[in-house]
Structure 1
């Protein structure tokens, strides 16, 4: 089935303001069911978690619903789902915990392709532990990771490999499973930044070979927070700093303070919304347990994980079609535009610069025409440095609600800028 883009767009109040948003990699717009889930949780009776009063049970249900939704979304057990304020915060927390077992002479391997949130926490932790940092370099010709450099960086002393599943600026998707398998052969842990990847592909954490995986629901239609996933058994081996009376069970031992129940409810609603994209584009949080649709056997219930797989396949087709229109239009603009996103396997994300023109000028020119496309280096410090990219560059990133009309406005705006 295909996504009904018009019906989908009608569920996003911000689109009624007339903007064409190409800033999805920095954070997507919010559909009505997600906002309603946040408001409904905040305005219902609500207390700290417990089982005595209705308000306590509402909090418990918000937490349980969140864990179940992200277990389905990521292909993991509910007991392996950890909430955090952001992916950056979760990475810092776990870097400090993991580094306690590192010793002088140990090594870690990082990627030049990554957002700094999957670089700096590890560098800082390594510095405190006296651990050597080695690098997977980028092939400048392809904007892909140089796996030869990975082979040279990996050794029997490697304790951890941290790598992105998709670059937030170039869209490049490295072969995470191959990297993970090679890391595991030498006994290293694998930490995967899936923030950009999870917005465009069905995530299967075990299939990726990730020991720990982080993502951010606000990159895929949810509220601002972060999620970390790992196997409950592995999480049991990690002992973070925590308050003495707070739970020592997994995953609660990694969640500090009172959880934001309304945010958990909104993040759950985002998963349910995504799970319904291939039907009419109008699915909301109330359809989490929907039964079969046309094409399924009569009376057959379809799991949320199965609906996510179906919807994200349709989303992939839709976003690829829109990306093709963007890239065709950029080619028509000629040599005035340099496209830096050229990996064979990548998300619908295009980084570009302009001959003799500043990207922030392009951003302002587009904004005056109601087109939102940001300029900057987007915390991809290592990639910009390694590839000698112009800083700032303009990034065009697609989200489920982008359509061909948005693309035409973008290309018309760039043509008039150049």
Structure 2
């Protein structure tokens, strides 16, 4: 059955504004069903978790449904799903828990391709422990990670390798299984920032070799929060700071304070929404998710080809060049400020933000001359051909 983008778009109230959204890498628009789930849970009855009263059971059910949904989305047991306020918060929490097990002379590997949320927490934790920081590099000319850089960075003293599943700036998808194999060969853990990857691809955390994988539901049609996935047996070995009366059970030991049940319900609804994108007879939600992501990938790849063909006719530089990447392009305009292009497009109801998007290391590595920002064009499941036409028409007008 063909991808029915018109039917999909009809379920997003934000699209009724007429704005063409290319800011999905920073946060997607939200379908009506997600907002309804948040409202229905919040207006209750709702109270702290328990099994006695209806309001308690509603809260407990929201937590259980959330864990089951993200277990299906990411391919780990429900007991390996940790809720967090954001991917940044979760990464800081786990960097502190892991960092206290490191000693002087240990080594931590981070990547020049990553968003700063998967760099700075590990660098700071290494500094506190007296550990050495090593770097995986990428080639700005090709957007590809250099395998030799991985081989040089990972040594017998490596304790952890932190790497992105896909760059939020230029879309590059490094070969995570190969990087993970190198890390595991020396007994190191692998922490994957999957925030950008999980918005475009079917995820199997164990298959990719990630020991810890973090993502953000608000980048995949859900509300603002973060999710970490890991094997429960690994979580059992980590001991975060927590309140004395708080449970020590996994995964609850990592979730501080009362959970936002309404946000968790919205995040669950986002998974169910994605699972329904590709209609079919499959009853298993994980299988439905696989089919839906396959359909989304075909749709986004087709639109990306149209966008790239149109950009080739303009005097722009496209920095997203990796052979395997997400439908996300970073563009600069020689002799022109991309911030001016962002404002010009926004006046035409085309939202294509300019910036470095917290991707401090890759932006600095690209060393773009004469501009402080890049224009990021990110596709989402609800992007359609008219959006592509509008952003290309707007850029032609700006360049003229």
Q: Is the 8 A contact 1:384 1:391 kept in 2?
A: no
**1:396 and 2:384 correspond:** no
1:2-401 mapped onto 2 (5 Å cutoff): 2-279=2-279, 293=280, 296=281, 302-333=283-314, 336-389=315-368, 390-401=371-382
SS for the counterpart of 1:357 is coil
Q: Give the C-alpha shift of residue 31 in structure 1.
A: 0.3
4+ aligned runs moved over 4 Å, structure 1: none
CA displacement 1:91-112 (0-9 Å, x = unmatched): 0000000001100010011100
TM-score (ref. length: structure 2):
0.98
Q: CA separation in 2, counterparts of 1:259 and 1:167?
A: 30
SS for the counterpart of 1:134 is strand
SS for the counterpart of 2:159 is strand
Q: Give the C-alpha shift of residue 3 in structure 1.
A: 2.1
Q: Is the 8 A contact 1:108 1:159 kept in 2?
A: yes
CA displacement 1:115-139 (0-9 Å, x = unmatched): 0000000000011110000000111
Instruction: List runs of 5+ in structure 1 lacking aligned partners.
Output: 280-292
Q: CA separation in 1, counterparts of 2:83 and 2:174?
A: 26
Q: Is the 8 A contact 1:87 1:215 kept in 2?
A: yes
| Number of equivalences | 397
Q: Specify the alignment match of 1:412 in structure 2.
A: 393
Q: Give the C-alpha shift of residue 82 in structure 1.
A: 0.1
Q: CA separation in 1, counterparts of 2:320 and 2:123?
A: 27
SS for the counterpart of 1:156 is coil
Q: CA separation in 1, counterparts of 2:142 and 2:333?
A: 19
SS for the counterpart of 2:312 is helix
Q: CA separation in 2, counterparts of 1:12 and 1:75?
A: 27
Q: Give the C-alpha shift of residue 34 in structure 1.
A: 0.2
Q: Is the 8 A contact 1:67 1:79 kept in 2?
A: yes
Q: CA separation in 2, counterparts of 1:172 and 1:256?
A: 34
Q: CA separation in 2, counterparts of 1:311 and 1:219?
A: 16
Q: CA separation in 1, counterparts of 2:53 and 2:394?
A: 56
CA displacement 1:182-237 (0-9 Å, x = unmatched): 10000100000000000000010000100100000000000000000000001000
Q: CA separation in 2, counterparts of 1:115 and 1:180?
A: 19
- Please report the RMSD computed on the Cα atoms of aligned residues, expressed in angstroms: 0.7
Q: Is the 8 A contact 1:166 1:194 kept in 2?
A: yes
Q: Is the 8 A contact 1:2 1:278 kept in 2?
A: no
SS for the counterpart of 1:332 is coil
Q: Is the 8 A contact 1:350 1:397 kept in 2?
A: yes
SS for the counterpart of 1:329 is helix
SS for the counterpart of 1:213 is strand
Q: Give the C-alpha shift of residue 2 in structure 1.
A: 3.0
Q: CA separation in 2, counterparts of 1:2 and 1:134?
A: 46
Q: Give the C-alpha shift of residue 352 in structure 1.
A: 0.4
Q: Is the 8 A contact 1:193 1:213 kept in 2?
A: yes
Q: CA separation in 1, counterparts of 2:265 and 2:98?
A: 30
Q: CA separation in 2, counterparts of 1:357 and 1:258?
A: 49
Q: CA separation in 2, counterparts of 1:169 and 1:60?
A: 38
Q: Specify the alignment match of 1:284 in structure 2.
A: none
SS for the counterpart of 2:308 is helix
